[in-house]
Amino acid sequence: MMTRPDEPVTGDEVGIDDEWPATFAQVPDWITLHPELKAQSVREYAFLMAHVPTDGRRRVAFPGQASIARVLQLGRSDKVTPYTRALVKVGAVRIEEIPTPKGRAYRYVLRFNPPRGYAGPRCLADFYGTSKEELDSRWAGFSMATAPVTPTAEGSPQKEGDPSPQKEGNGCPQKEGPKKTNRNQTNLKNKDAVADAVGKSAGGFASAGGRDGAAGETGEAEGGSAASGKNLPGQRKRSPRPATTKTRPRKESAGFELVRAALPAAVAAPGTRLWTGLHRAINDLLDGNQGAGIPRRTPEQVVARINRRWYGEDADVRSAPGYRGCDRCTAAGCTAPRRSPENPEGCDRIKNRCAWLKDAILAQDCADPGCEDGQIIGGGACHACQERAEERREAARAVAAARAKLQADTEALTAARRLVDEWAAAESAEENRLRAELGRAGMYGVMLDHRIGQHMAGWRDRNPRPAGPPAEGIDEPQAVRA
């Protein structure tokens, strides 16, 4: 913000270069400060305004979509549509379609003043929330006679009564405060220094001078120049590599080395690094995890738990390379589903020893988290586990009895069917023999059928049909479900 000659310098300033005026396009403040317009929309408005004639004729322009896209640095002309729609939505531009000999064209009619009902900031005073009375009170008390010496853009002090003072800006001055030294002179002497923000404004340029880094708005209620008090971080350089998340090193719980030494060699060979998941599971057992419902255990209890899981479930055999847990197992691996309580018929081959052991030692069959395979940690036997074990034994006995009965019924059914099949084969053979014998004797027709019927009736009396299988409608064999 530019200060008056009689106002002390209290912040960053915006000045006018001595090469003014230059070719420029007028952009109203309400367009620049509109909360719904993005920077690309404001830039498009400025480009359209640059096409408006300055001789008093109608403010219309006929730029092409390709030209607008090139100014906005867009790859295709159709990408201009969202920014144009935003200008039309806020009432800054009205588009008229006009016929041409070659087809159709568009006329962009620009609006200087905000439309009726616009409640956003119309100028910098509205943007900074400063009233006209407050501005008048701030300027009161200053005079040219008592004005301090203010450095100009070239770094030379502007003397009192200079006939060409700096122009007054539209912004609101900052309230009175202690004087600060303007460092524009130092910045201009350094040829390598570049202004933080440069943009066309009424034929001049705007630069954030007096401080290193980009000036940021402080949002003060009184308005005034906004400046950032610290250097802003630079833009992060993008890299095609994925981001690496740094974590703290794994904690070694008390007794971890004892448990680590007791692990099977197939899981953790001496001198190798333990898998992270298994490492964390052992720490949870040693230190306890209240969120997961895991109580604290001693190293001896953890070692005993690992041995029960590994050797009690034959994990060393099931993880061997030549083990076949199902018909789909091969030397390269197995694609069948794993065995689990939900899938008891799945393959029991262990494909990953560390992952299996981690899941096995963290699995808790009892609802009591303090139960260690039927024994309460620090107490006696778990009654819930005893009752559950008794129920499982009863269920196992029932399943065994049902399977035995099913096997006996299946064998009896098979024997009955075999006897029936043998009797039917004998009956058919006897009938065929008699029919052939009577046919050779010259008997045929009704007489042949009558003689065969009489003979077979006597044969069935002498050889009764054996008891057959159960009648149709009874499930054979019966399903036994545990």
Of 118-122, 256-260, 375-379, the one with minimum mean pLDDT is 375-379
Res 99 pLDDT > 90:
no
What residues does 95 pair with on adjacent strands? Answer: 108
- Domain boundary residue, one of 315, 347, 372: 372
Distance CA 302, CA 298 (A): 6
Q: What is the reported pLDDT for 368?
A: 78
Please name which of 431, 473, 476, 428 lies closest in space to residue 452, comparing C-alpha atoms: 431
Distance CA 466, CA 455 (A): 20
Whether residue 172 sits in one domain with residue 316: no
Token pair recorded at residue 212: 């290193």
Whether residue 173 sits in one domain with residue 85: yes
Number of domains making up the chain: 3
- Mean predicted confidence (pLDDT) in 119-138: 75
Per-residue pLDDT band for 249 (boundaries 50, 70, 90) equals low
Distance CA 378, CA 381 (A): 10
Q: Per the domain annotation, does 267 fall within a domain?
A: yes
Token pair recorded at residue 81: 């549509």
Q: Per the domain annotation, does 280 fall within a domain?
A: yes
Q: Per-residue pLDDT tens for 348-390?
A: 888 888 999 999 888 887 877 778 878 787 778 888 888 888 9
DSSP string, 84-151: HHHHHHTTSEEEEEEEETTEEEEEEEE-SSPPTT--S--SHHHHHT--HHHHHHHHTT--STTPPPEE
- Mean predicted confidence (pLDDT) in 218-228: 40
What residues does 96 pair with on adjacent strands? Answer: 107
Whether residue 157 sits in one domain with residue 48: yes
Q: Per-residue pLDDT tens for 179-199?
A: 444 444 444 444 343 333 333
Q: Could you tell me which residues come within 8 angstroms of residue 284 by beta carbon, excluding any fewer than 6 positions away?
A: 292, 294, 362
327 burial type by CB count under 10 A (0-12 exposed, 13-18 middle, 19+ buried): exposed
- Domain boundary residue, one of 319, 341, 372: 372
Distance CA 135, CA 457 (A): 130
Per-residue pLDDT band for 209 (boundaries 50, 70, 90) equals very low
76 burial type by CB count under 10 A (0-12 exposed, 13-18 middle, 19+ buried): exposed
Q: Per the domain annotation, does 238 fall within a domain?
A: no
Distance CA 203, CA 222 (A): 28
Res 440 pLDDT > 80:
yes
Q: What is the reported pLDDT for 357?
A: 92
Whether residue 345 sits in one domain with residue 431: no
Looking up tokens 């081959």, which residue turns up? 349
Q: Are 176 and 224 in contact (CB under 8 A)?
A: no
| H/E stretch holding 19 | none
Range of the domain at 165: 29-204
Q: Per-residue pLDDT tens for 66-97?
A: 888 888 998 888 888 899 999 999 999 988 88
Q: What is the CATH number of the domain that holds 63?
A: 1.10.10.10
Q: Per-residue pLDDT tens for 318-348?
A: 888 888 888 888 877 788 888 877 787 888 8
More confident residue, 131 or 44: 44
Q: What is the reported pLDDT for 86?
A: 92
Whether residue 277 sits in one domain with residue 366: yes
**Pairing status of strand 200-201 against strand 204-205:** antiparallel
Q: What is the reported pLDDT for 144?
A: 40
322 SS3 class: coil
Chain-wide mean pLDDT for the chain? 74
Res 14 pLDDT > 80:
no
Q: Per-residue pLDDT tens for 393-419?
A: 999 999 999 999 999 999 999 999 999
More confident residue, 203 or 291: 291
Share of the chain above pLDDT 70, in %: 65
Q: Per the domain annotation, does 212 fall within a domain?
A: no
Q: Per the domain annotation, does 19 fall within a domain?
A: no
Res 21 pLDDT > 80:
no
Whether residue 180 sits in one domain with residue 85: yes
Per-residue pLDDT band for 102 (boundaries 50, 70, 90) equals confident
Whether residue 289 sits in one domain with residue 346: yes
C-alpha R_g of the chain: 48
| H/E stretch holding 95 | strand 93-100
Q: Per the domain annotation, does 341 fall within a domain?
A: yes
Whether residue 339 sits in one domain with residue 299: yes
Whether residue 342 sits in one domain with residue 456: no
Backbone φ and ψ of 135, nearest 5°: -60, -45
Per-residue pLDDT band for 168 (boundaries 50, 70, 90) equals very low
Residues in the chain, overall count: 482
- Mean predicted confidence (pLDDT) in 446-456: 92
- Domain boundary residue, one of 317, 345, 372: 372
Helices H, strands E: what count in the chain?
14, 9
Distance CA 26, CA 49 (A): 7
Distance CA 407, CA 413 (A): 10
Whether residue 391 sits in one domain with residue 367: no
Q: What is the reported pLDDT for 427?
A: 93
Q: Per the domain annotation, does 329 fall within a domain?
A: yes
Whether residue 51 sits in one domain with residue 153: yes
Whether residue 347 sits in one domain with residue 279: yes
Q: What is the reported pLDDT for 246?
A: 63
More confident residue, 136 or 424: 424
DSSP string, 194-236: --S---EETTEE----SSSS-------TT------SSPPPPPP
Q: What is the reported pLDDT for 419?
A: 92
Q: Per the domain annotation, does 469 fall within a domain?
A: no
Q: What is the reported pLDDT for 251?
A: 66
Share of the chain above pLDDT 90, in %: 20
